[in-house]
Chains A and B, each alone.
Chain A
Amino acid sequence: MKKLLKLLLIASLIFMAGGLAWGQDEDEEQDNSIRSNPENFEPATQLEKPSDLLKSEHVFRQVLRTVPTFTVDPREEEMDAYPCTDCHDNDEQMPNAEIRNLEEDHESIQLVHGNGRFWCLTCHNEDDRDQLTSLKNQPISFNESYLLCGQCHFQRQKDFFYGGHGKRKGNWQGDRKLSTCTECHNPHVPQIKGRNPVAQPKIRTGLSPTKTVHQVKYKPWEIKPKAGAAH
Chain B
Amino acid sequence: MNKDTTLKEKKAGVSRRKALKAFGLGATVAAGAAVASATPGKPSKVDISFDDQMGNYFQDHYKKMTKEEIKEALARLERRYKATYDVDIKVDNMPAQPGVLFGYALNISKCKGYRECVKACTETNNQSRDPEIQFIRVLEMDKGSMNMEEANHYFSDDETVPKPDKWYLPIQCHQCENPPCVKACPVEATWKEPDGITVIDYNWCIGCRMCMNACPYWARRFNWKAPSLPKEDINPVTHYLANRPREKGVVEKCFFCLQKTRKGEMPACQEACPTGARVFGNLLDPNSEIRYVLEHKNIFRLKEDLQTEPKFWYYSD
Task: Determine if chain A interacts with chain B.
Answer: yes
Known: A201-B153, A202-B131. A162 touches B162 (CB 8 A): no
A152 within 8 A of B: no
B224 proximity list for chain A (CB < 8 A)? 205
Q: How far is B296's CA from A167's CA once the two chains are assembled, in angstroms?
A: 17
Contact check, B114 vs A197: say whether CB atoms are below 8 A apart: yes
Stretch in A46-54, A100-108, A188-196 touching the partner: A188-196
Q: Among B153, B160, B161, B289, which residue has its beta carbon within 8 angstroms of that of A168?
A: B289
Q: How far is B162's CA from A9's CA once the two chains are assembled, in angstroms?
A: 68
A19 within 8 A of B: no
Q: How far is B275's CA from A195's CA once the two chains are assembled, in angstroms?
A: 12
Chain A residue with minimal CB distance to B266? A172
Say how far B249's CB is from chain A's closest CB, in angstroms: 15
Contact check, A164 vs B119: say whether CB atoms are below 8 A apart: no
B282 proximity list for chain A (CB < 8 A)? 172-173
Contact check, B154 vs A172: say whether CB atoms are below 8 A apart: no
A68 proximity list for chain B (CB < 8 A)? 287
Contact check, A197 vs B154: say whether CB atoms are below 8 A apart: no
A88 within 8 A of B: no
B271 proximity list for chain A (CB < 8 A)? 169-170
Known: A195-B160, A197-B161. A165 touches B115 (CB 8 A): no
Contact check, B157 vs A195: say whether CB atoms are below 8 A apart: no
Q: How far is B295's CA from A202's CA once the two chains are assembled, in angstroms?
A: 38
Say how far B37's CB is from chain A's closest CB, in angstroms: 22
Known: A197-B155, A201-B132. A163 touches B279 (CB 8 A): yes
A221 within 8 A of B: no
Contact check, A172 vs B160: say whether CB atoms are below 8 A apart: no
Q: How far is B158's CA from A196's CA once the two chains are assembled, in angstroms?
A: 6
Say how far B72's CB is from chain A's closest CB, in angstroms: 31
B159 proximity list for chain A (CB < 8 A)? 196
Contact check, B264 vs A179: say whether CB atoms are below 8 A apart: no
Contact check, A200 vs B279: say whether CB atoms are below 8 A apart: no
Chain B residue with minimal CB distance to A171? B264
Contact check, B157 vs A196: say whether CB atoms are below 8 A apart: yes
Chain A residue with minimal CB distance to B149? A220
Interface size range on B against A = 35 or more
The dominant DSSP class at the A interface is loop
A184 within 8 A of B: yes
Known: A164-B279, A199-B157, A203-B154. A172 touches B317 (CB 8 A): no
B287 proximity list for chain A (CB < 8 A)? 65, 68
Known: A68-B287, A164-B297, A172-B280. A194 touches B264 (CB 8 A): no
Q: How far is B292's CA from A111's CA once the two chains are assembled, in angstroms?
A: 34
Identify which of A171, A174, A200 gathers the most chain B CB atoms within 10 Å of its CB.
Answer: A200
B288 within 8 A of A: yes
Say how far A159's CB is from chain B's closest CB, in angstroms: 7
Known: A201-B132, A201-B134, A203-B154. A162 touches B264 (CB 8 A): no
Contact check, B280 vs A197: say whether CB atoms are below 8 A apart: no
B179 within 8 A of A: no
Known: A166-B276, A171-B264, A201-B134. A194 touches B115 (CB 8 A): no
A22 within 8 A of B: no
A61 within 8 A of B: yes
Known: A171-B266, A201-B132. A60 touches B296 (CB 8 A): yes
Say how far A11's CB is from chain B's closest CB, in angstroms: 51
Say how far A105's CB is from chain B's closest CB, in angstroms: 30
B15 proximity list for chain A (CB < 8 A)? none
Further pairs besides A162-B289, A179-B276: 13, Cβ < 8 Å: A60-B296, A65-B287, A68-B287, A159-B317, A163-B279, A171-B266, A172-B264, A172-B282, A192-B112, A194-B112, A194-B161, A197-B157, A201-B153
Shortest 3 CB-CB distances between A and B: which pairs? A163-B289, A173-B264, A167-B276
Residues of B at under 8 Å CB distance from A? 112-116, 118-119, 131-132, 134, 137-138, 153-162, 224, 261, 264-266, 270-271, 273-276, 278-282, 286-290, 292-293, 295-297, 317
Residues of A at under 8 Å CB distance from B? 60-61, 63, 65, 68, 159, 162-174, 179, 184, 192, 194-205, 209
The 9 listed contacts between A and B (C-beta, < 8 Å) are A68-B287, A163-B288, A164-B317, A169-B266, A198-B114, A198-B115, A198-B118, A200-B115, A205-B224
